[in-house]
Amino acid sequence: MQKVYLDNAATTQVRAEVISKMQVALSDFYGNPSSTHSFGRSAKTAVEQARKTIAKTLNAHPSEIIFTSGGTEADNMILRCAVRDLEVKTIITSKIEHHAVLHTAEELEKEYGINLLFVDLDAFGNPDIGHLKTLLAQDASKKLVSLMHVNNEIGNLVDINAIGELSKEHNALFHSDTVQSVGHYPWDVQATSVDFFTAAAHKFHGPKGVGFAFIRKNSGLKPMIFGGSQERGYRAGTEPFHNIVGLEEAFVQSYDNLEEEMAYVKGLKQYFIEKIQEAIPGVQFNGHSGDLEKSTYTLANVRLPIDKQKALMLLFHLDIKGIACSKGSACQSGSAMGSHVLTQILPTEELEKPSLRFSFSKYNTKEELDYAIAVLKEFSES
């Protein structure tokens, strides 16, 4: 049976170069980075080199890169500490953010009594900049805007430069969940008015369980996890050295090969869009995912003209045929709840049709896409 992995927005295959570097870290550099002997110093040097490498690519200062267990922890840390330490009284976000942001904001509303506001969305799921401006200007409370750069389900690209500038004009902080963006798009933090953003290594061919937060210098944030003085005091606990060097290697490989790999994956998405429209008349794209200019080149979210009852077996059928994709984010796939993203932008009758997210990487081929589309076509016509 052919095996086709088209769920790269959930996680990606780890690069061979990353595995090799992590193996050396695990076998030869096993000292605790906080230890003062040579074993510890070797590990500490590599951790700090990883921090410098990432910072240089982002045009950031090394002290602004804080290693975490991934995007969820980084989002939680930034939102929670902004409310606790920076006197943020209002969080402005959208109802289609990742749950790492939405659920955290909802908990902060309960715990601290903050004002939680949601910016209006258009029919494609884009935030209404005019409404955001109204929310920012409605009172003098200290505000934090949290809007993601690339939506993890429908792939919409948000103009974070415009949002950052608007936030700055109103003396508001700006945080962006950039987990689907870092490693796939160039970044320059000096050219973008963003105070905080987040990344996860496993979204760009690195290991799971490690990521980082960008926290602009002199932010005023204090630790969320207490103990030792690791990570500039922001995050206590022994650093997962092998994961950090794996993150560094994945990051370097992604940006060293960005132009070539972006062009290749964009070509795959264009091919997928054309071929699935030819094979399945009536297929539609959710959000802007069918538009290569307005959405990320890494995913397409399709809505299929299939009966609701028949659709219950769709993912199972694809899995049997060796095809991996998802009905929204992987975080939601085990839930009986529908996509909170699609619920916000689709009418009820369209929500009853099955929607699938196909996400692509450098390891995919057009032949794999042909196979997946043929299986979908066969199922839709049976």
CATH of the domain at 214: 3.40.640.10
Strands 284-285 and 211-215: unpaired
What's residue 373's pLDDT?
98
What's residue 328's pLDDT?
59
Is residue 310 within a helix (H) or strand (E), and if so which, with residue range? helix 308-311
* 8 Å CB contact between 348 and 161: no
Same domain, 132 and 189: yes
What's residue 302's pLDDT?
97
In 3D space, the residue among 180, 178, 176 whose CA is nearest the CA of residue 167 turns out to be: 176
82-94 pLDDT, tens digit per residue, is: 999 999 999 999 9
**Cα 346 off chain centre by:** 22
Same domain, 325 and 176: no
- Domain ends where: 199, 230, 256? 256
Residues whose CB falls within 8 Å of the CB of residue 378, separated by 6 or more in sequence, listed in order: none
175-233 pLDDT, tens digit per residue, is: 999 999 999 999 999 999 999 999 999 999 999 999 999 999 999 999 989 999 899 88
Q: pTM here?
A: 0.95
* 8 Å CB contact between 151 and 341: yes
What's residue 67's pLDDT?
98
| 325 tagged catalytic | no
**CA gap 313, 188 in Å, rounded:** 45
- Domain ends where: 256, 290, 322? 256
Q: Identify the active-site residue in 224, 252, 331, 351.
A: 331
Strands 4-5 and 323-324: parallel
- Domain ends where: 201, 232, 256? 256
What DSSP designation does 371 have? H
Distances, alpha carbon 281 to alpha carbons 249, 303, 380, in Å: 43, 11, 10
Instruction: Name the average pLDDT for the chain.
Output: 95
CATH of the domain at 8: 3.90.1150.10
Per the structure, the complete domain to which residue 105 belongs is given by: 16-256
Same domain, 188 and 249: yes
Same domain, 8 and 29: no
**The dihedral formed by the CA atoms of 100, 227, 87 and 74, expressed in degrees to the nearest 10:** -20
Low-confidence ranges of the chain (pLDDT < 70): 328-337
* 8 Å CB contact between 89 and 172: no
**CA gap 334, 325 in Å, rounded:** 13
